[in-house]
Amino acid sequence: MTAAGSYFKIGPARLFVHLAVLLIVIVWLIPTLGIFVSALRDKDQIVVSGWWTSFVGSTQTVAVRLGTPDQQKQEGAIYVISGNVLEGQGGRAVKAFGNRVQQPAAFKAGETADLGDGETLQINSDGSYRYMKGTAFSPDERPRRIYVSVSAPPEFTVQNYHTVLTGEGIGQSFINSLTVTIPATIIPILIAAFAAYALSWMEFPGRALLIALVVGLIVVPLQMSLIPLLRLYNEIGTMLGQPSKTYPGIWLAHTAFGMPLAIFLLRAYIAGLPREIIESARVDGASDFEIFTRIVLPLSFPALASFAIFQFLWVWNDLLVAMVFLGTDKDHLVLTGSLNALLGSRGGNWEILTASAFVTIVVPLLVFFGLQRYLVRGLLAGSVKGG
Amino acid sequence: MKKSFLMSVAVAALFAGAASAADLKFAPGQDSKFNWKSYDEFKAAHADLKGEPLTIFGPWRGEDEAFFLSVLAYFTEATGVDAKYSSSENYEQQIVIDTQAGSPPNIAVLPQPGLLADLAGKGFLTPLGDENSKWIKDNYGAGDSWVGYGTYKGKDGKESFYAFPYKADVKSLVWYVPENFEEAGYKIPTTMEELHALTDQIVKDGGVPWCIGLGSGGATGWPATDWVEDIMLRTQPPEAYDKWTTNDLKFTDPAVVAAIDEFGKFAKNEKYVNGGVAAVASTDFRDSPKGLFTVPPKCYLHHQASFIPSFFPEGTKLGQDADFFYMPTYASHPELGKPVLGAGTLVSITKDLKTARAFIDFLKTPIAHEVWMAQSSFLTPYKGVSTEAYANPQMKKEGEILTSATTFRFDGSDLMPGKIGAGAFWTGMVDFVGGKSAQDAAAEIQSAWDGIK
pLDDT tens for each residue of A356-385: 888 888 888 888 888 777 766 655 554 444
Give every residue of chain B whose pLDDT is below 50, as ranges: 1-22
The span from the CA of B122 to the CA of B155, in Å, is 5
Q: How far is B90 from chain A (nearest CA, A)?
A: 9
> What pLDDT sits at residue B172?
85
CB contact under 8 A, B284 and A327: no
> What pLDDT sits at residue A28?
92
Q: Does B55 touch chain A if contact means CB atoms closer than 8 Å? A: yes
| Of A100, A226, A342, Cβ closest to residue B97 | A226
> What pLDDT sits at residue B16?
44
> What pLDDT sits at residue A8?
64
Over range A343-356, report the average pLDDT: 80
Q: What is the pLDDT of residues B295-309, one digit of tens each?
A: 889 999 999 998 898
The span from the CA of A14 to the CA of A16, in Å, is 5
CB contact under 8 A, A348 and B90: no
> What pLDDT sits at residue A6?
59
Max alpha carbon distance in chain B (Å)? 68
CB contact under 8 A, B294 and A48: yes
Judging contacts by C-beta atoms under 8 Å, the chain B residues touching residue A159 are 2
Q: What is the pLDDT of residues B233-252, one digit of tens each?
A: 999 999 999 999 999 999 99
What chain A residue is nearest to B58 in terms of C-alpha separation?
A345
> What pLDDT sits at residue A132?
87
Q: Does B5 touch chain A if contact means CB atoms closer than 8 Å? A: yes
Q: How confident is the model at residue A387 (pLDDT cuts 50, 70, 90)?
A: very low
The span from the CA of A257 to the CA of A375, in Å, is 24
More confident residue, A83 or B273: B273
Average pLDDT, chain A: 85
State the best of B14, B61, B109, B284 to mutate against chain A, taking most chain A CBs within 10 Å: B61
| Of B61, B103, B294, Cβ closest to residue A344 | B61
What chain B residue is nearest to A237 in terms of C-alpha separation?
B103
Q: How far is B224 from chain A (nearest CA, A)?
A: 17
In chain A, pLDDT over 70 holds for what percent of residues?
94
Q: What is the predicted ipTM?
A: 0.74
Q: What is the pLDDT of residues A6-35, one digit of tens each?
A: 566 778 888 899 999 999 999 999 998 999
Range B382-390 contact pairs with CB under 8 angstroms and sequence separation of 24 or more: B382/B139, B382/B140, B383/B139, B383/B140, B383/B141, B384/B35, B384/B139, B385/B35, B386/B33, B386/B34, B386/B35, B388/B33, B389/B33, B389/B34
Judging contacts by C-beta atoms under 8 Å, the chain A residues touching residue B98 are 230
Q: How far is A107 from chain B (nearest CA, A)?
A: 15
Q: What is the pLDDT of residues A222-266, one digit of tens each?
A: 888 888 888 888 888 888 888 778 898 899 999 999 999 999 989
A169 pLDDT higher than 60:
yes
pTM of the model: 0.81
Q: How far is A104 from chain B (nearest CA, A)?
A: 6
| Of B1, B57, B184, Cβ closest to residue A102 | B184
Residue type, A72: Q
CB contact under 8 A, A101 and B290: no
**Selection from B64, B69, B58, B122 nearest residue B94 by Cα:** B58
Q: Does B313 touch chain A if contact means CB atoms closer than 8 Å? A: yes
CB contact under 8 A, B287 and A230: no
Phi, psi of B89 (to 5 degrees): -60, -45
**Interface contacts A/B by beta carbons within 8 Å:** 119
Burial of A12 (0-12, 13-18, 19+ CB in 10 A): exposed
3 state DSSP class of A294 = helix
Judging contacts by C-beta atoms under 8 Å, the chain A residues touching residue B217 are 347
CA angle B238, B239, B241 (to 5 degrees): 65
> What pLDDT sits at residue B7?
47
A301 pLDDT higher than 90:
no
CA angle B279, B282, B287 (to 5 degrees): 90
Q: Does B64 touch chain A if contact means CB atoms closer than 8 Å? A: yes
